[in-house]
Amino acid sequence: MKDDGSLLHKWLCDLFPLSRSVVGPGIDQSLEYLANLMGTASEYLNYPSGTIVNGWKIPNAWKLNSARIEDLLGNVIVSTEQNNLHLWSHSAPFEGQVTREELENHLLTLKEIPEAIPYATTYYKENWGFSITYETYNSLTETAYRVFIDTLIYPDTLKILEVVIPGTSKSEILFSTYLCHPSMANNELSGPVLATSLARYLASRDNNYTYRFLFGPETIGPICYLSDHVEALKNTVVAAFNLTCVGGGDEWSLLQSPSGSTYSDKIALELFKSRRMEFKTYDFLSRGSDERQFCSPNVNLPMVSIMRSKYHEYREYHNSLDDCNFVSATRLQESLDFYIDLLTLIDADGVLRSKVLGEPFLTNYFDYPSVGGRVDNSERSDYRIASQLIAFANDVTLVDIADRIDYPVLKLLPILEKCVAFGLIDVKPLKPGRSSYADESI
């Protein structure tokens, strides 16, 4: 069961107006919306506000009722009714008249994009503030303004929504995504809606690997989750993907793992090559999302991010231009297609080993010119490719072999499936710690 890009776009537009933060009703409603779509069991993990987790304090819930700046005549300058990015996330309640000078300390603008409202937060410092366009900023000529901020800050629980789709093997593929951002579409509603669609797809079929999806707030979410799941993940995860920025921008991007050589890195590269896609590669030095937690030294999971235009690299990033128009149904469809290819490939891949001593009698299985001695060595017939596949099926992955024989991995996959069906190749699931195969092994 594969969803359509326009359905993903509808979900995204439904979620867009909610005022999400790390903890609070905005993210809770968003998670519940996605949980209802999932088509399989899901579970909430709860981490109470105020708990210290590995040096981080779980914030209180934050609820935005409304906030605005007025001039002294009562004319509304900006209001969260227009766009909830106007108020800095976690702004404390406030009401009062302030001079323009005082107000300036609580304003943020984006001079380089005069029509955009920048995204800002004040999670860990009690404060309040407004983000306004540079155009609005220039119109503030009065000497004083009135500020109304109706927010609630109160203890609650940080929530992680977890979906596990069991497979034949206990080895796991992990997908992590986050939705603590308020009204922004590519970063970050595209990841959660794509993750939901992938979970629906996997739930509708039988799988070799177990798939785990995590939805929650960025950074503190994985930190909480890892605090009580790190050992379990280390024992099972063979590939991991951070789902972010998958709905907008014209480019494709790969943020590599620290080593750049895990199975997750390699499958991304081979899939890009196989699909003849141009893409940019970013070293782990340019990281900026939840791989910061999952690839950290005491966690060391093999995680990469396969994105459209990367966070920090596109104009609409972290401002009000990242809206439902920036993310299109077409882009979501393309990303879904890519990731379904990824899942198809990964679920069939593993540690490949020839079951034959020497070459098999391939003529039994694949078409061969009936008059021998006349083989065109360069031909790319199934016969020849199967022969290459078996020749290198020496405890490496299909992804490794695609790289070694320089053949598109998606075209190699049906040939592998035939070889497995014919009893010529055995595929064992990847195991943690074996997910990275150095080139020299073949």
Residue ranges binding its own copies (CB under 8 A):
54-57, 88-89, 108, 118-125, 127, 129, 219, 222-223, 226-227, 230, 258-259, 261, 284-288, 292-293, 295-300, 312, 318, 353-354, 356-361, 363-364, 370-374, 377, 387-388, 390-395, 405-406, 438, 440, 442
| Minimum distance of its own copies from residue 95's CB (angstroms) | 21
Give the CA distances from residue 61 to residues 27, 85, 289, 297, 366, in Å, rounded to whole numbers and listed in that order.
Answer: 10, 17, 22, 30, 63
Angstrom distance (rounded) from CA 287 to CA 269: 18
Q: How many CB atoms lie within 10 A of CB 216?
A: 28
In the bound state with its own copies, the residue whose beta carbon lies nearer, of 139 and 227, is 227
In the bound state with its own copies, the residue whose beta carbon lies nearer, of 263 and 339, is 263
Between 329-348 and 191-203, two packed helices, what is the crossing angle to 10 degrees?
Answer: 50
Q: Are 46 and 156 in contact (CB under 8 A)?
A: no
Q: How many CB atoms lie within 10 A of CB 211?
A: 22
In the bound state with its own copies, the residue whose beta carbon lies nearer, of 10 and 229, is 229
Q: Token pair 């500020």 is at which residue?
A: 147
Between 5-15 and 329-348, two packed helices, what is the crossing angle to 10 degrees?
Answer: 120
Computed over its alpha carbons, how large is the radius of gyration of the chain?
Answer: 25
| Minimum distance of its own copies from residue 299's CB (angstroms) | 6
CA–CA–CA angle 378, 379, 384 (5° rounding): 100
| Minimum distance of its own copies from residue 374's CB (angstroms) | 6
Three-state DSSP at 333 gives helix
In the bound state with its own copies, the residue whose beta carbon lies nearer, of 61 and 393, is 393
Phi, psi of 423 (to 5 degrees): 75, 20
| Minimum distance of its own copies from residue 165's CB (angstroms) | 25
In the bound state with its own copies, the residue whose beta carbon lies nearer, of 143 and 364, is 364
In the bound state with its own copies, the residue whose beta carbon lies nearer, of 250 and 440, is 440
Give the CA distances from residue 340 to residues 85, 250, 309, in Å, rounded to whole numbers and listed in that order.
Answer: 33, 20, 19
In the bound state with its own copies, the residue whose beta carbon lies nearer, of 57 and 205, is 57
Q: Are 419 and 362 in contact (CB under 8 A)?
A: no
Cβ contacts of residue 338 below 8 Å, gap of 6+? 271, 275, 306
Tell me how long the chain is: 442
In the bound state with its own copies, the residue whose beta carbon lies nearer, of 69 and 342, is 69
Cβ contacts of residue 360 below 8 Å, gap of 6+? 390, 422, 424
Determine the residue type at 372: G
| Minimum distance of its own copies from residue 300's CB (angstroms) | 7
| Minimum distance of its own copies from residue 84's CB (angstroms) | 14
In the bound state with its own copies, the residue whose beta carbon lies nearer, of 105 and 141, is 105
Q: Are 390 and 360 in contact (CB under 8 A)?
A: yes
In the bound state with its own copies, the residue whose beta carbon lies nearer, of 343 and 390, is 390
Angstrom distance (rounded) from CA 79 to CA 56: 32
